[in-house]
Amino acid sequence: MIERANGTIKELIQKSLKLNEDFDWAKNLQILIGHINNTNHRITRFTPNQIQEAYENDDKEILDEAFDRKLKKNTATHHKKFSKTRYGKNIFTK
């Protein structure tokens, strides 16, 4: 998870430098991290700040919804990845 976060921060720094080569990323690191924490996750559709707040307030509705979406994504990816051979033939027979 840390490697993914580092990659996202690195990508934001690189994009910022492309837009403005004088961009001082060290001074603006908090802004970049704030941007990440306030951007909806593509699977859960919640921001990290929303998940953190739900956790702190024991908001089971939001946490369950986020978990269910993540679980569905993992199940779909797992099924897609392992349900076919590399030649595209279904390895499960009925």
pTM, 2 dp: 0.58
In this predicted structure, what is the pLDDT of residue 1? 66
pLDDT digits (tens, 9 = 90+) for 24-78: 989 999 988 898 889 988 888 899 899 999 989 999 999 998 888 888 777 766 5
Coil, strand or helix at 57: coil
Coil, strand or helix at 90: strand
In this predicted structure, what is the pLDDT of residue 70? 82
pLDDT digits (tens, 9 = 90+) for 10-30: 998 999 999 999 989 899 999
Burial class (CB in 10 A: 0-12, 13-18, 19+), 90: exposed
Coil, strand or helix at 17: helix
- Sequence spans of domains, the chain: 2-82
Closest CA to 66 of 50, 80, 79: 50
